[in-house]
Structures are given as structure tokens and as C-alpha cells.
Amino acid sequence: MESPAPVRILTVCTGNICRSPVAERLLQAGLDQVLPGGFEVRSAGTRALVGDPVQPLSADIIHTFGGTAEGFAARQLTGKILRPVDVVLTMTSAHRGEVLQLDASLLKRTFTIREFARMLDVLEERETPPSGGNTQPGGSSQSGGNHHHRISANTELWRALPARAASVRHLALAPEAADNDVVDPYRRSADYYRQMEDELAPAIISVLRFARLNAPS
């Protein structure tokens, strides 16, 4: 049986060594817990330090939250990388603009990660998941066919999600434009890495919670 396509998420920042790898690795680690094989999270940079590993202080954050920073190499964002992606999550509004310059067709699938998280929170408040999340009985849900079915259903849900998120955008507006952005700590003190963590971690948690509550049972 052919494996169903996972949900493809791309996180984007500038150098692809501080912010987007944290988002990539923590989303991947959390989503693997929600639905193994259901999500593929990658990252890229608009001016990437190609081939570089994750910056040490960012790697610390990834490890603290249960992800792995190993085997990472920064890569430059290209139209080819963007083509198969279901959702693009950028670290700032400026990055969103740069994504759309490369591929305008992604307009409705590209969000800053903090904006996207707020939209999911609004959806969460307004809608009860159809199946009540993973509360269904029956522990054998990992059997091959059923697992494939869950991945397919999940991918369908996430492909429809950007339009649902955009429909509540007016309810998820940031108090200030800066609240859509995650600070760039590159070549700055540890304080900036802490600020990045404070801005990024709640958004990641919102995305993971939405995925968990809406995972097909």
C-alpha cells in the first residue's frame, strides 16, 4: 500500500540557524508524538548560512524542549523547496513577504508562526473537534491500514486549515505588528535567545495542541 503524503510544513527565517531550526525541530518532535509519520517539518532561510549547524544557544533550547539539533544543515529558501509545502510558517512578516516574492501562489498558505498560532487558538475556542480528539477507545489504532487512513485524513484536514485559519484572521489580530514577529538573536547576547524562546515557544505549543486535539482517531 502506498504511504499517504504527510502534512508538509516549512519554517522560515533569515540565516536558518537560530529561529527556524528551533521551530522545525520542536514542531517535528511534538507532531511525531501526535501522529507518527503524519507530518514532515523542514526549514530554510531567506539569506541562509548554507551548511551551518544550529547555533549553540538555539540547540540548547531545542534539547530542553525534547527535540534534537543533530544532523542539521542550513539551506537557502528556493521556489523548488516551497513547491510541495502545505503550510509555510515564517518568523517575521518580512520573511512572509520574501516567501511570496518567490512564489505568489503561496499567499493563502503562508503565515507568521505567531499569527498562525493565534488563529488556531481562535479556531479552538470556536469549534469542538468532530471526534473529540484522540479520546476514542480501541488501542489498536496503529494497525497499518488504519494508521494510513489517519495520516490521509490528517493531511486533508491540514490542507484545508489555512482557509479556515484565514477566516478568523480578524479575530486573531495582534495588538501591535511586532507581536507577529520573533526576534532575531543572531550574534546577540543570551538575552535575545531568551526573548526568541519567549516569543516562539507559546506559538509552537499552540500548533502542537491544535494538532493533538484535531488528530483523526
Render pLDDT for 154-209 as a digit per residue (tens, 0 to 9): 999 999 999 999 899 888 888 888 889 999 999 999 999 999 999 999 999 999 99
Q: Name the band, by pLDDT with cuts 50, 70 and 90, for residue 134.
A: very low
Give all strands (DSSP E) within 51-162, no chain letters.
Answer: 87-90, 110-112
Q: What strand order describes the sheet that includes 110-112?
A: 39-45, 7-13, 87-90, 110-112
Alpha carbon distance 133, 31 (integer Å): 14
Render pLDDT for 77-124 as a digit per residue (tens, 0 to 9): 999 999 999 999 999 999 999 999 999 999 999 999 999 999 999 998
Q: What is the pTM of this model?
A: 0.91
* Mean pLDDT of the region 40-65: 96
